[in-house]
Amino acid sequence: MTSTELLKKLISFATLTPNEAGSFEFIKSYLNDFALIETEKEGVKNLFLYKKFGSGSHICFAGHIDVVPAGGEWASEPFEATEKDGIIYGRGAADMKGGVSAFLYALKHTASFNGTLSTLITSDEEGDAIYGTVLMLEKLKELAMLPDFCLVAEPTCEASFGDTIKVGRRGSINGRIKIIGRGGHAAYPEKSDSPIVALAKVLPYLANAVLDIGDDYFAPSKLVITDIKGGYGKHNVIPSEVEILFNIRNGITTDTKTAKSFIEDAMEKAEIQTFELSVTQSSNSFVIENTDEAQKYFEMLKKCVKDISGIEPRPSTAGGTSDARFVSKYGVGVLEFGVRNETIHAPNECVSTDEIEKLTKIFQEFISRVAKN
């Protein structure tokens, strides 16, 4: 079975979060000489398969088997792989059964290594992710089996296969500002204290405000207003409150504290005294620790990607969150590399067989490079 055939097989399991739909039995039998650790809680299953070749480093390939619903109009059956002109269509083809197939194939076909090779696969990455990767990492920590390094095969590439390795992710901060004034009749504005007038004064300081200028890894952290609510849908009533919702995708120099004081400054400049502010971090930012060890894996992966794809990958932290953020929290160095992400979560999701074959070779090459070090 080639990695492409493996991908077709994985697509045939309708693994809607958090249902692994029998795919785990298949994966266990595929890697039947690997030892097994499983967790199951609230319908979420996680699989960890490992093989100890020697006493060297423990390298883990991680991913998720779950997919988002088919959604929208498909030209083919979403849970049945359809190949046309070298392209495989199916839900999860790129996000991320393609990556999972590539590393499963690489793991099965590794005859010798100097340490431990493993895979961590969750059935809940696209959902709440409460009992997913985190639960398995907790268990591995208890067993003193946390890997030394983890490679997550999420679809990271943009325009061309090979162009992007994710070295971290931005965090996400959600916030809410409530401006409190005094409502009244539109005919007597002097008798009210309109929160909309206050809003107009503060918006220039807030809309798309840049909270930090970014660094080598992160784009500038921007405050993006996502909703403004106030009023009663009437022409003649001045409301007493206006609410602003915002989101900040933050690097590591901006956090909830700096975001809060930035907004308080803006309110002061706009001379607004009565307001309520709440700011919460919904996911943390991280970047692969700048240690020699982490740098070593990055350089090795970069070389494998360049040799096989012909493209020099750039380090990036763009895009949404992934389970790599949990791995990083456990102090495990983590990088993400996989196929192009153009069609992920969209109807007619697809991946080329060429990308799957190259990705498989990159993972095999990475394993043998680590073994030589």
Q: Tell me how far, at minimum, the Cβ of 92 lies from Zn ion, in Å.
A: 9
Amino acid at 82: T
d(CA 325, CA 275): 33
- Which structure tokens are listed for 55? 């006493």
Nearest to 278 by CA among 178, 207, 200: 178
The smaller minimum CB distance to Zn ion, of residues 167 and 344, is found at: 344
The DSSP string of 329-365 is HTT-EEEE--SB-TTTTSTT-EEEHHHHHHHHHHHHH
158 is an active site residue: no
Q: Least distance to Zn ion from the beta carbon of 337, Å? A: 13
**How big is the CA angle at 284 (ends 280 and 287), to the nearest 5 degrees?**
155
R_g of the chain computed on alpha carbons: 24
Site membership for Zn ion, residue 95 (CB under 5 A): yes
Residue 154 or 212 with smaller CB distance to Zn ion: 154
Q: How many residues of this chain interact with Zn ion, rule: CB under 5 A? A: 3
User: 66 catalytic, yes or no?
Assistant: yes
Query: To the nearest whole angstrom, how small is the minimum distance from the Cβ of residue 317 to Zn ion?
Result: 16
Beta carbon nearer to Zn ion, 10 or 96: 96
Should residue 96 be labelled a site residue for Zn ion when binding is judged by CB under 5 A?
Answer: yes
Position closest to Zn ion via CB: 95
State the helix-helix crossing angle for 353-372 and 292-309, rounded to 10 degrees: 140
Of the candidates 98, 105, 103, which has an alpha carbon nearest to the alpha carbon of residue 1? 105
Cβ closest to Zn ion, residue 96 vs residue 259: 96
Q: Which of 66, 212, 241, 349 is catalytic?
A: 66
Residue number with CB closer to Zn ion (167 or 206): 167
Instruction: Please identify, using beta-carbon distances, which residue of 266 and 327 lies nearer to Zn ion.
Output: 327
- Provide φ and ψ at 312, rounded to 5°: -85, 115
Those residues whose C-beta lies under 8 Å from the C-beta of residue 174, and which sit 6 or more positions away, are: 245, 246, 247, 279, 280, 282
Q: How far is the CB of 172 from Zn ion (least distance, A)?
A: 16
The runs of H, that is alpha helices, within 147-233 are 195-206
Shortest Cβ distance from residue 290 to Zn ion (Å)?
26
CB of 116 to Zn ion, least distance (A): 25
* Annotated catalytic residue within 124, 125, 212, 355: 125
Binding mask 142-181 for Zn ion (x = CB under 5 A): ------------x---------------------------
Site string for Zn ion, 16-55 (x = CB under 5 A): ----------------------------------------
The amino acid occupying position 156 is T
Contact indicator for 214, 168 with CB cutoff of 8 Å:
no
The residues annotated as belonging to the active site are 66, 125
Q: What residue ranges bind Zn ion (CB under 5 A)?
A: 95-96, 154
